[in-house]
Amino acid sequence: MSYRQAKWIEPTIFEMSRSGAVGVDFPEIDEELQRELKEALEEIPEGLRRRELSLPELSELEVVRHFTRLSQMNFSISTGMYPLGSCTMKYNPVMNEELAVDEKILNVHPLQPVETVQGCLEIMWRLEQVLKEITGMSRFSLQPAAGAHGEFLGCLIIRAYHRDKRLHNKNIMIVPDSAHGTNPASATMAGYEVKVVKSDKDGCVDINQLEKMVDEKIAGVMLTNPNTLGVFEKNIDKIVDIIHGVDGLLYYDGANLNALLGKVRPGDMGFDIVHLNLHKTFSTPHGGGGPGSGPVGVVDKLVDYLPSPLVNYDESRKIFYLDYDRPKAVGKIKMFYGNFNVLVKAYAYLLRMGGEGLRKVAEISVLSSNYLLYKVKRLKGVSLPFAPEAPRKHEFVVSLSKIYKETGVTAKDIAKRLLDYGFHAPTVYFPLIVDEAFMIEPTESESKKELDNFFNVLSRVIEEAYSNPEKVKSAPHNTSVARIDEVKASHPKTMTPSWRVYVKRGSKL
């Protein structure tokens, strides 16, 4: 159980600068081009010429070494288990990366004539067909670059639909108290007032409260199911009836669909709009924070409102094309057609798994999660709030509040201490309805041995919390750096968002 993350004393790229060093070469500018250059430069008004520029200067090797060292100081799925709840850190097949650097992807301009991009369009079209089948939706837009981007689009579609139906007073979006932060933020961005519905004792939407909240002003509800506690909303039928009863729409936050793949479809549950995170459920890498992809699917009655263009197939001409002739479409939310490179990786993953494989993903991710829960909830100081007997799905949330009360060690401290043993920490303090929340999602990628290792380490850390709390509170000890002073980092007097701010302050932190 010993682990030590790489630690380089690596200066910033600015401190490495050596005047005159170059890391890249350019073709020669011949005499004729020199003349053009001279004349062009003379034509630029004096006030528009740049006089100062302080970028660092390095050789190619220095750049390679610098970024290689930085990468070594970064925990990743390739490094170890990443049970970060709600983030679905499953294995990202290396095969996809090889495919995605194909010149036939990288060197395509989005505005090329349609007959020269048939490959791209066909991949988008085929991916859409698969996503439709998985979710039970009628059509998808692949435009959103991320889950939250998809949520924003979904909310805009709800607005467009209600406007079209002349239901102008629908200005409230309901969001559960267990929802992801992006849900209320997206609804607000789309112009809605957000009202929060509480969770009941089982961790599900409180139906009684929902019924009382609902009136003709309700535009819809944004739900995650299984919700962020990992619990399946058993009253989904009732929720659907209540919301549809006032002409509201149901938005499915499918950022994380792992548990239901090939088993239950959002469309069959009664949802009208779904977004998926291809960088979670469909294995495209998260890249340290992006790029992702958050396609949005809708039922029949909402297809007209999806943003243009959609990819269609013209049977007579045997050609895929981009359809812009869609008068009711909401406005574009991004340049061009989406993060195409990510779409290719997701499509390759879907082929690799096939329908059967996806169902297996659902079952194994749920089994692995419940297996860990079965063991973890028996640990000293750990409790399972909400519906203790109900199985969880792909993830579960335990509370460490008893440990905190008995030892002063917080969920954050335990999370930091796990880093010392070569595991990424679970998500902490989310969902907000659980005290000292600890949200674990093992995914289908890990072996039993690794699940057991994780459990053993967690159990050891909790023992440490009782026997040697200072060790846990001062963790981590084995990572590239020790615990960070978050207050100082964001304090107005010491905040340093760029190198030039640091230098201007006299190179002091």
Partner 1 sequence: MVSRHPLIGLTDEEISNMLLEMGLKSIHELFEDVPPKLFMHGELGFSKPLTESEVKQAVKEILLKNEVLGEVKLFMGGGVWPHFIPSVVKEVLRRSELLTSYTPYQPETSQGILQALFEYQSLMAELLDVEVVNASMYDWATALGESFRMAKRITRKNKILYPHYISCERLEVAKTYSESSSIILQEYSQNKVDGSVDLEDLKNKIDKDVAAVYIEYPSYLGFIQTNIREVGEITHDYGSLFIIGVDPTILGIFESPGKLGADIVVGEGQPLGIPMSFGGPLLGIMGCRMDSQLIHQLPGRLIGLTETTRGERAYTMILQAREQHIKREKATSNICTNQTLCAVAVAVYLSLLGKNGIIELGKQILSRTRYLINRLSRIDNVQAPLFKAVHFKEFTYRVKNKKAGYILTELYKKKILAGINIDNFYRDLPEAILTCVTEIHSKSDLDMYAESLREVVEE
* CB nearer to partner 1: pick between 22 and 212: 22
Complex with partner 1: residue 288 or 506, whichever CB lies closer: 288
- 112 vs 468 by CB, closer to partner 1: 112
From CA 338, how far away is CA 344, in angstroms rounded?
A: 11
- Which H helix or E strand runs over 432? none
Question: CB of residue 242 vs partner 1: minimum separation in angstroms?
Answer: 16
Q: Nearest distance from residue 20's CB to partner 1, in Å?
A: 8
Enumerate the β-bridge partners of residue 439: 397, 427
Which of 297, 291, 295 has the alpha carbon at shortest distance from 133? 297
In the complex, least distance from residue 221 CB atom to partner 1, rounded to whole angstroms? 14
Ramachandran area for residue 237 (φ above 0: left; ψ -120 to 50: alpha; else beta): alpha
Query: Whose Cβ is closer to partner 1: residue 367's or residue 402's?
Result: 367
Residue 349 or 404: which CB sits closer to partner 1?
A: 349
Nearest approach in angstroms of CB 205 to partner 1 is: 15
470 and 464 Cβ atoms separated by less than 8 Å: no
User: 265 or 381: whose CB is closer to partner 1?
Assistant: 265
Q: How far is the CB of 466 from partner 1 (least distance, A)?
A: 23
DSSP character for 114?
A: G
Q: Cβ 299 to partner 1, closest distance in Å?
A: 16
Do the Cβ atoms of 87 and 76 come closer than 8 Å? no
Q: How far is the CB of 143 from partner 1 (least distance, A)?
A: 9
* Tokens 């200005």 sit on residue: 171
Q: Which CB sits closer to partner 1, 226 or 248?
A: 226
- Nearer to partner 1 among residue 383 and residue 478 (C-beta): 478
Please provide residue 256's backbone torsions phi and psi, each rounded to the nearest 5 degrees: -130, 95
Query: What is the nearest approach in angstroms of partner 1 to the Cβ of residue 434?
Result: 15
CA-based end-to-end distance of the chain: 35
- Shortest Cβ distance from residue 220 to partner 1 (Å)? 15
**80-98 burial string, b = 16+ CB within 10 Å, else e?**
bbbbbbbbbbbebbeebee
Q: Which residues of 304-321 are buried (b: 16+ CB within 10 A; e: fewer)?
A: bbbbbbbbeeeeeeeebb
Three-state DSSP class for 115?
Answer: helix
Alpha helices in 299-447 (DSSP H): 340-376, 401-407, 411-419
> How far are the Cα atoms of 100, 124, 454 from residue 461, in angstroms, in the given order?
40, 46, 11
Residue 508 CB neighbour total at 10 angstroms = 8
Nearer of residues 332 and 402 to partner 1, judged by Cβ: 332
CA–CA dist 203, 213 (Å, integer): 18
CB of 64 to partner 1, least distance (A): 6
Give the residue among 305, 379, 369 at the shortest CA–CA distance from 138: 305
| Tokens standing for residue 386 | 């909400």
User: Mapping DSSP to helix (H, G, I), strand (E, B) and coil, where does residue 475 land?
Assistant: coil
Determine phi and psi for 95, rounding to 5 degrees: -50, -40
For partner 1, the closer CB: 359 or 402: 359
Q: What token pair was written down for 338? A: 């989406």
CA within 13 Å, CB half, 265: 16
Closest CB 350 distance from partner 1, rounded Å:
7
Which CB, 237 or 406, lies closer to partner 1? 237
- Residues 158, 220: contact at Cβ < 8 Å? yes
Minimum CB separation of residue 126 from partner 1 in Å reads 8
| Residue 205 bridge partners (DSSP) | 199
199 or 427: whose CB is closer to partner 1? 427
